[in-house]
Structure 1
Amino acid sequence: MSSTTLQYKQPSLQGDITVPGDKSVSHRSIMFGSIAKGKTTVSGFLLGEDCLNTIDCFRKLGVDIEVDGTNVTINSPGIDQWTEPAEVLYTGNSGTTTRLMLGILSGTNLHTIMTGDASIGKRPMRRVADPLRLMGAQIAGRDNGQYTPLAIQGGRLNAIDYTMPVASAQVKSAILLAGIRAEGTTIVREHEVSRDHTERMLHQFGANVTVDNGVVTLEGGQQLTGTHVNVPGDISSAAFFLVAGALTAGSRIVLNNVGINETRNGIIEVLQNMGANMSIASNGENTAEPTATITIETSHLTATVVEGAIIPRLIDEIPVIALLATQAAGKTIIKDAEELKVKETNRIDAVVNELKKLGANIEATEDGMIIEGPTPLHGASLKTYGDHRIGMMGAIAALIAEGEVTLDDADCIAVSYPTFFEHINNILK
């Protein structure tokens, strides 16, 4: 881990960017391709550390996975023919991998042990383990399965009818992935709809699944069939350049092939509500995940309130939305975002602490934050907490801050966006 110092003197940003593949879809493409019998091909795969750890886990289970740039080929014997791994499955910094794998592994005939990095070791897992136990899963770990390492003794599962206590695509997906192997019909009910990549991919791989007004119904005992997955650009990565383009004087950035799944596009709605100078050209509905070309230009922004049903659609973008709000006229309020406390770090505290160092007028609340703007930002030494989203927030802040911004660990950004700084440099004018 080494520090990185950034200083940009009144830059403008001009040019096109194709952001890396969607992290959520990339993870799931490997998981579904490995569960399915036969050949699956993936294009646009994200070569970030998290997703590469997902590949490594399935290779240890006996799945043949070849990587050629952003193209991946999976040849799987199907979940019934996986081999019990001699090694511990290492998920790195990926909560998605860790939680979804719990659902997948619970329905196998294998004994597996799973662990991650220090950050994963602090993140709550019983929110997944407990509903899986209702299905018959045998999961052991620290604090009764709250923390990694986790040991899973696969076996027979029974379907459940489960009402989600909080909006969480990871919990929902773990239950559905277990439901593929369960006896009976698994039902998951959501009060607020979380991202639906799992439901879409179940359709892609031939599963019989229905989604109706927040209720997902999946028949158990289904065999998935290999297919082709086209991974769209990650809107969570694009969000940082959307904010950069809006805040940096004399800028115009064109973002290509960005996923605009309606369960993920909350950042676009916030930018529109704040008056951003932005246009969106849909690329059509010819893939399982809709995409668009988004153009953002320097904007005069006004404050807004971010709350309620939109929160699950932008939970990963809140750090950079908070930065955006420091330059908007008025008081921006972010609430109903308690889920930020159990991300890679407590993102409410982390965002508030680091933006304050830069001179932002920002205060934490129990479930979010309040930001007064516009406020000029100045240089500072920032802590990333090993969290890629906090690291990228700090780097984008450096574009508009007076003086040097130092990140204590810029390497953490590679988890989701290995070419992040290269893309900034490519559009600097």
Structure 2
Amino acid sequence: MSAHGPERKMTAHAGGPLNGIAHVPGDKSISHRALILGAMAVGETRITGLLEGADVLDTAKAMAAFGADVTQHGEGDWSVHGVGVGGFAEPEDVIDCGNSGTGVRLIMGAMSTTPITATFTGDASLRSRPMGRITDPLALFGCRAVGRAGGRLPMTLVGAVDPLSVDYTTPMASAQVKSAVLLAGLNAPGQTVVTERAATRDHTERMLRGFGAEVVTEKVEDGWRITLTGQPELVPQTIAVPRDPSSAAFPVCAALIVPGSDVLVPNIGLNPSRAGLYTTLKEMGADLTFENEREEGGEPVADLRARFSPDLLGIEVPAERAPSMIDEYPILSVVAAFAEGITHMPGVHELRVKESDRIDAMAVGLRACGVEVEESDDSFTVHGRGPGGVRGGAMAAARLDHRIAMSFLICGMAAKRPVTVDDASPIATSFPIFEDLMTGLGAQMTQDD
């Protein structure tokens, strides 16, 4: 039994071209943040286009447990009546964040400077992931945390009674750590400062400004410094969530490697801190075009067209690009397998501590499909087999990881022989319509008993 429901084997087969319009779900990162900041504002925040995957729904339940009034009005249409900064009530039960590292870490930050106690847990994958990277900086505010050995869930946080402002330098490139510290700083007096050596996705800073917080980002010698002035009164907003670029990566990459394909993905968020994959694909020779470029809700948006690209070449992916595409390396490694030459991906140690060890998961599965792969602690190298050159015919282990499951199903759509994923149920955490969307474009996928 999977933590996401009954295990579901799924097999992807090579078929005809993929064609059509792919309406991918709303951006997961923005959906989480809209719910959390809506709960910390005073009044009603309206959200359209919210991703209704399991991860985001768990965050919605958590905000209700902390006292916000969270209501669904229709598909993707939600309202949050917030309780204000510092207004969270103590939840009556354990907060279960399912599979979501983003959800649990941001929620921990948001409640850590309120004098309440909350216990957090999640599925088997989330319980195996490190939380010390969050609880260490939160302790500087005065928050106490007690969890399992190695700083793992289940974990109880006791919020600070008299929180202190913090000046913190992140030891790793992590938007989750940065965001947790900034959310904690909302209920601390004075200024909370976060310095990061490499810029990570900035959805939190953009949305904080939209809700009325004073946030200043500046380039400094050591990287980037973000300064938040604490104890604002957040003003409720109307938020239109753009489509998720990480979800868009799957139909886009499928179109690049399946002969004859032409797929349009409308309304994709192209925040520069999230768009590294598309820059990389263009450098590899992908036939990608950005149409109807515009800005919505402070975020750059465009319609993205992807066509079959038989001349893809392996490249050296700059290590400094990793923070802007950290979730996309699994599907990039599949594209690299169908390119000519070697694709080297350095600076990706963070993949070792995602929902699974994504470097190992992709390396093992790709090797089973006949692709030569090399790995180190923080790098990943794929020796491309060229268009149609991947053997396939393997069973890939998803390891309770939605992106691993989807990546190998995309691989099966272009490989010589079908590729089976041992459990596709985790896909529901971020992309609940994945199967229907891909088969609607022409993909051949079957469920196995």
Specify the TM-score bucket, using the shorter chain as the normaliser. over 0.9
Residue identity in the other structure for 1:315:
I
User: Is 1:313 equivalent to 2:319 in the alignment?
Assistant: no
User: Among residues 430, 436, 439, which one is paired with 1:422 in the alignment?
Assistant: 436
Question: How far, CA to CA, are the matches of 1:237 and 1:7 in structure 2?
Answer: 18
User: Is 1:101 equivalent to 2:112 in the alignment?
Assistant: no
Give the superposition deviation at 1:269: 0.6
User: Is 1:379 equivalent to 2:393 in the alignment?
Assistant: yes
User: Among residues 258, 261, 264, which one is paired with 2:268 in the alignment?
Assistant: 258
Residue identity in the other structure for 2:331:
V
Per-residue displacement from partner, 1:291-342 (whole Å, max 9, x unpaired)? 1101010102011111321000000000000001011111110111000010
* 1:391 corresponding residue in structure 2: 405
Give the superposition deviation at 1:2: 2.9
Question: How far, CA to CA, are the matches of 2:14 and 2:199 in structure 1?
Answer: 42
* 1:370 corresponding residue in structure 2: 381
* 1:238 corresponding residue in structure 2: 248
Does the aligned pair in 2 maintain the 1:3–1:406 contact within 8 Å? no
Give the superposition deviation at 1:7: 4.2
Residue identity in the other structure for 2:192:
T
* 2:3 corresponding residue in structure 1: none
Give aligned pairs, total: 428
Residue identity in the other structure for 1:65:
V
User: Is 1:33 equivalent to 2:42 in the alignment?
Assistant: no
Local SS of the residue matching 2:294? coil
Give the superposition deviation at 1:212: 1.2
Does the aligned pair in 2 maintain the 1:164–1:190 contact within 8 Å? yes
The 5-angstrom pairing of residues 82-101 of structure 1 reads 82-101=88-107
* 1:346 corresponding residue in structure 2: 357
Q: Which has the larger displacement, 72-81 or 306-315? A: 72-81
User: Among residues 264, 268, 283, which one is paired with 1:273 in the alignment?
Assistant: 283
User: Among residues 16, 21, 31, which one is paired with 1:16 in the alignment?
Assistant: 21
Is the alpha carbon distance of 1:16 and 1:52 closer, same or farther for their aligned partners in structure 2, counting shifts above 3 Å?
same
After the TM superposition, which parts of structure 1 deviate over 6 Å for at least 4 consecutive aligned residues? none
* 2:76 corresponding residue in structure 1: 70
Give the superposition deviation at 1:365: 1.8
Question: How far, CA to CA, are the matches of 1:402 and 1:302 in structure 2?
Answer: 20
Local SS of the residue matching 1:406? strand
Question: How far, CA to CA, are the matches of 2:89 and 2:172 in structure 1?
Answer: 35
* 1:216 corresponding residue in structure 2: 226
Residue identity in the other structure for 2:414:
I
Question: How far, CA to CA, are the matches of 2:141 and 2:213 in structure 1?
Answer: 20
* 1:164 corresponding residue in structure 2: 170
Runs of 5+ in structure 1 lacking a partner? none
Is the alpha carbon distance of 1:170 and 1:7 closer, same or farther for their aligned partners in structure 2, counting shifts above 3 Å?
closer
Local SS of the residue matching 2:90? coil
Per-residue displacement from partner, 1:354-382 (whole Å, max 9, x unpaired)? 11111112122221211111242322111
* 1:120 corresponding residue in structure 2: 126
Question: How far, CA to CA, are the matches of 1:3 and 1:28 in structure 2?
Answer: 30
Local SS of the residue matching 1:224? coil
Does the aligned pair in 2 maintain the 1:377–1:400 contact within 8 Å? no
Residue identity in the other structure for 1:110:
I
Question: How far, CA to CA, are the matches of 1:302 and 1:111 in structure 2?
Answer: 53
Does the aligned pair in 2 maintain the 1:378–1:403 contact within 8 Å? yes
Give the superposition deviation at 1:51: 0.3
Per-residue displacement from partner, 1:190-235 (whole Å, max 9, x unpaired)? 1100000100010110101111122100011111111111111110
Question: How far, CA to CA, are the matches of 2:352 and 2:173 in structure 1?
Answer: 14
Local SS of the residue matching 1:72? strand
Residue identity in the other structure for 1:261:
N
Runs of 5+ in structure 2 lacking a partner? 1-5, 444-449
Local SS of the residue matching 1:157? coil
Question: How far, CA to CA, are the matches of 1:9 and 1:38 in structure 2?
Answer: 51
| Structure 1 length-normalised TM | 0.97
Is the alpha carbon distance of 1:187 and 1:29 closer, same or farther for their aligned partners in structure 2, counting shifts above 3 Å?
same
Local SS of the residue matching 2:139? helix
* 1:283 corresponding residue in structure 2: 293
Question: How far, CA to CA, are the matches of 2:155 and 2:261 in structure 1?
Answer: 48
Question: How far, CA to CA, are the matches of 1:340 and 1:4 in structure 2?
Answer: 24
Local SS of the residue matching 2:406? helix
Does the aligned pair in 1 maintain the 2:18–2:261 contact within 8 Å? yes
Does the aligned pair in 1 maintain the 2:342–2:381 contact within 8 Å? yes
The 5-angstrom pairing of residues 140-179 of structure 1 reads 140-143=146-149, 146-154=151-159, 155-179=161-185
Is the alpha carbon distance of 1:319 and 1:209 closer, same or farther for their aligned partners in structure 2, counting shifts above 3 Å?
same
User: Is 1:297 equivalent to 2:307 in the alignment?
Assistant: yes
Give the superposition deviation at 1:282: 4.2
Question: How far, CA to CA, are the matches of 1:304 and 1:13 in structure 2?
Answer: 25
Does the aligned pair in 1 maintain the 2:7–2:424 contact within 8 Å? yes
Local SS of the residue matching 2:395? strand
Query: Once superposed, what is the RMSD of the aligned Cα atoms?
Result: 1.3
Does the aligned pair in 1 maintain the 2:101–2:126 contact within 8 Å? yes
Question: How far, CA to CA, are the matches of 1:202 and 1:5 in structure 2?
Answer: 40
Question: How far, CA to CA, are the matches of 1:185 and 1:395 in structure 2?
Answer: 47
Local SS of the residue matching 1:390? helix
Question: How far, CA to CA, are the matches of 1:257 and 1:166 in structure 2?
Answer: 31
Give the superposition deviation at 1:288: 1.5
User: Is 1:229 equivalent to 2:229 in the alignment?
Assistant: no
Q: Which has the larger displacement, 24-33 or 399-408? A: 399-408
Is the alpha carbon distance of 1:135 and 1:109 closer, same or farther for their aligned partners in structure 2, counting shifts above 3 Å?
closer
Local SS of the residue matching 1:18? coil
Give the superposition deviation at 1:79: 4.1
